[in-house]
Chains A and B, each alone.
Chain A
Amino acid sequence: QVQLVQSGAEVKKPGASVKVSCQASGYTFNSFGVSWVRQAPGQGLAWMGYINTQTGDTNYAQNLRGRVTMTRDTSTRTAYMELRSLTSDDTAVYFCARCPTPSCYLKAFDRWGQGTVVTVSS
């Protein structure tokens, strides 16, 4: 069955970087895009960006441009999200989510990973 399995919880100091992985199974990886969405404690969902798993093209939320990089490794069916220069405002649960086409634009997020807790604290 379709599964997105994310890497484990992370604790980082301010100024550090974090890289979260999302390994897909149960479907053809490069036929479906991957978006990343985060949720701060007690808050709503916030879209971070997506990667076209076929071409590697990316589209990031403007407020994260320059700090976020999304990549994919088609050989291991894994998508990655790296966030740099972390502050306490980046403390959140980070989700990967599948889109039904290689590009996520205009599409719904039809399957989600279990989430990765990232805590930024000195």
Chain B
Amino acid sequence: SYVLTQPPSVSVAPGQTATISCGGNNIGSNVVHWYQQKPGQAPVLVVYHDSARPSGISERFSGSNSGNTATLTITSVAAADEADYYCQVWDSSIESPAVFGGGTKLTVL
């Protein structure tokens, strides 16, 4: 089945830019969605279709996808952005069409 690889953790100082990668074989040919999950809460969609933002999501969240890597970028990081972030794609595999990355813990220093 399709595998998505995320770094376990990313740390960034307040006000700086955080980038979270999501690696997969030719992931650029897939549509990537990103979710934010804070402790004890349900996930929240922050970017869909590679780079689109749902209504109510800050413009500080953006996404890109090309080649073997998709990227979530968060500018002007604030303490409230500290959370786990998951990428997700739909694969043509019959084993598990929807696949999540392992998640990245974003720590705001």
- Cα–Cα, bound, A104→B1 (Å): 19
A-B contact count (CB 8 A): 64
Most chain B CB within 10 A, of A37, A46, A95, A105, is at: A37
Chain B window 49-63, contacts with chain A (Cβ cutoff 8 Å), 1 for yes, 0 for no: 100001000000000
Within 8 A of B (CB), among A68-122: 95, 97, 104-115
- Least Cβ–Cβ distance between A8 and chain B, in angstroms: 15
User: Which residues of B does A touch, CB under 8 Å?
Assistant: 1, 31, 33, 35, 37, 42-45, 48-49, 54, 84, 86, 88, 90, 94-103
- Cα–Cα, bound, A112→B45 (Å): 9
Cβ-closest 3 pairs across A and B: A108-B48, A47-B98, A112-B42
Q: A109-B33, A115-B42 are contacts. A61–B95 as well, Cβ < 8 Å?
A: yes
List the A side residues contacting B42 at CB < 8 Å.
Answer: 95, 112-115
Pair A106/B96 contact, Cβ less than 8 Å: no
Q: CB within 8 A of A44: which of B49, B94, B100?
A: B100
Pair B100/A110 contact, Cβ less than 8 Å: no
List the B side residues contacting A61 at CB < 8 Å.
Answer: 95-98
- Cα–Cα, bound, A50→B33 (Å): 17
List the B side residues contacting A107 at CB < 8 Å.
Answer: 90
- Least Cβ–Cβ distance between B8 and chain A, in angstroms: 10
Q: CB within 8 A of B102: which of A37, A44, A112?
A: A44
Pair B43/A112 contact, Cβ less than 8 Å: yes
Pair B43/A109 contact, Cβ less than 8 Å: yes
List the A side residues contacting B100 at CB < 8 Å.
Answer: 37, 44-47
Q: A44-B103, A110-B54, A112-B43 are contacts. A62–B48 as well, Cβ < 8 Å?
A: no
- Least Cβ–Cβ distance between A67 and chain B, in angstroms: 14
Pair B94/A62 contact, Cβ less than 8 Å: yes
List the B side residues contacting A47 at CB < 8 Å.
Answer: 88, 96-100
